[in-house]
């Protein structure tokens, strides 16, 4: 099954990129860096309809833009999810490394470059939101975890795939222990095939255990084992899964607005109320969801095309949901 998925992904990428891409190919830009005392390169890929939407854009920042497979996976994942309205319009920014391992493990210069130079450059040149989403794999995952912990006020989401948490005597663990608060979304994933992921899993598990122990109240956290995937193939599944998780709240809000428009057009169709209520419930807006479920129950009586069996089933589920939310909100 894993190999079928990868083949489909690669095939769809080649076909999609030719005729149905909603993103530009990555452009390479140079930033004059006082941190590195030279010009440094980043890549940027924008939605084709970037100029047609005037609101501030989300920004996804990833390491290893030198790696064609990582870049292709980020681009294709964003492309597919954006196509189906599962993530918002986003600008994709890739960091090009000159000495990858040194920059990602000796973190200070690259962190300063991103925070003090890349972010101001993006905000000046593009209409981007203040907080951004990070993506990193392997040493990139180690680096992005540190960046998320060090500058949590600037990055609201972090997607970490098969991170190598062992460098510098496991300093990422020490940093986590001294972190009092953590906000946003954090998605971690690791594979279970071959030595690379198996050898780093003990450090990964220590980090996951500490996150779960600390139970940061403002942090949404997900840890996923990608069974059947190895270190180099985990980004294929982990990156789109991470984007889907981190933009989950955005998607539910989108669904609420979408159903509001459909309710205006078809005010008596109960299914739109049901979808809106489910979205509100997933956003933990339980009182609002309760009222919309009640509206749905009223509207279903006006549907003359629904079968008796389906109506009985839906009404039963709606009453159960209403009772559940009434108990929860009292």
Give residue-wise pLDDT tens across range 270-327. 999 999 999 999 999 999 999 999 999 999 988 989 999 999 999 999 999 999 999 9
Torsion 283-285-286-288 (CA) sign: negative
What is the structure's pLDDT at 103? 97
**Mean of the pLDDT values across residues 32-42?**
97
Tell me what pLDDT residue 20 has. Answer: 54
Mean of pLDDT values over 134-157: 97
User: For position 55, what pLDDT does the model report?
Assistant: 82
Confidence of residue 5 (pLDDT cuts 50, 70, 90): very low
- Could you give the CA distance from residue 153 to residue 264 in angstroms, rounded to a whole number? 38
CATH 3.40.50.1820 fits 2-246, yes or no: yes
The answer to whether 79 and 45 have CB atoms below 8 angstroms apart is: no
Domain boundaries, the chain: 2-246, 252-329
Burial class (CB in 10 A: 0-12, 13-18, 19+), 22: middle
pLDDT at 53: 73
Cα separation values, 40 from 43, 60, 141, 151, 158, Å: 10, 19, 21, 21, 23
On whether the CB atoms of residues 170 and 137 are closer than 8 A, the answer is no
- Which runs of E-coded beta strand occur in the chain? 27-33, 38-45, 58-62, 90-95, 132-137, 155-161, 184-193, 219-230
pLDDT of residue 17 exceeding 70, the answer is: no
> Measuring CA to CA, which residue among 189, 104, 97, 192 is closest to residue 143?
104
**Looking at residues 8-28, what average pLDDT do you find?**
62
Please report, to the nearest 10 degrees, the dihedral formed by the alpha carbons of residues 159, 162, 165, 167 taken in order: -110
Q: What is the mean pLDDT of residues 88-95?
A: 95
Please compute the mean of the pLDDT values over residues 194-203 and round it to a whole number. Answer: 92
**Mean predicted lDDT score pLDDT of the chain:** 92
Mean pLDDT for 53-71 is 92
Residue 330's pLDDT is: 86
How much of the chain, in percent, has pLDDT values that exceed 70?
A: 94
Architecture of the domain made up of 252-329: Alpha Horseshoe (1.25)
pLDDT in tens, 93-135: 999 999 999 999 999 999 999 999 999 999 999 888 888 999 9
């Amino acid at each position: 099954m894993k190999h079928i998925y990868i083949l489909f992904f690669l095939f769809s990428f080649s076909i999609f990129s030719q005729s149905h891409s909603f993103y530009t190919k990555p452009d390479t830009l140079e930033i004059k860096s006082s941190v590195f005392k030279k010009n440094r390169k980043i890549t940027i890929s924008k939605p084709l309809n970037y100029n047609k939407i005037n609101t501030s854009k989300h920004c996804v920042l990833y390491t290893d833009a030198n790696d064609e497979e990582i870049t292709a996976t980020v681009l294709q994942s964003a492309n597919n999810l954006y196509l189906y309205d599962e993530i918002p319009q986003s600008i994709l920014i890739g960091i090009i490394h000159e000495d990858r391992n040194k920059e990602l493990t000796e973190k200070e210069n690259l962190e300063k470059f991103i925070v003090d130079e890349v972010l101001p450059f993006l905000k000046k040149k593009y209409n981007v939101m203040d907080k951004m989403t990070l993506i990193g794999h392997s040493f990139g995952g180690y680096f992005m975890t540190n960046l998320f912990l060090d500058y949590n006020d600037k990055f609201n989401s972090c997607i970490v795939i098969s991170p190598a948490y062992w460098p510098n005597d496991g300093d990422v663990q020490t940093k986590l222990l001294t972190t009092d608060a953590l906000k946003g979304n954090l998605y971690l994933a690791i594979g279970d095939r071959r030595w690379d992921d198996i050898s780093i899993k003990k450090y990964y598990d220590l980090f996951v255990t500490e996150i779960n122990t600390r139970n940061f109240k403002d942090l949404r956290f997900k840890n996923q084992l990608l069974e059947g995937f190895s270190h180099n193939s985990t980004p294929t599944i982990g990156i789109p899964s991470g984007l889907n998780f981190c933009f989950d709240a955005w998607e539910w809000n989108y669904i609420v607005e979408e159903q509001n428009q459909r309710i205006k057009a078809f005010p008596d169709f109960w299914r739109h109320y049901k979808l809106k209520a489910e979205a509100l419930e997933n956003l933990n807006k339980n009182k609002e969801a309760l009222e919309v479920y009640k509206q749905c129950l009223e509207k279903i009586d006006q549907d003359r095309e629904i079968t008796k069996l389906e109506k009985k089933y839906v009404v039963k589920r709606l009453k159960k949901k209403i009772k559940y939310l009434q108990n929860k909100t009292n």
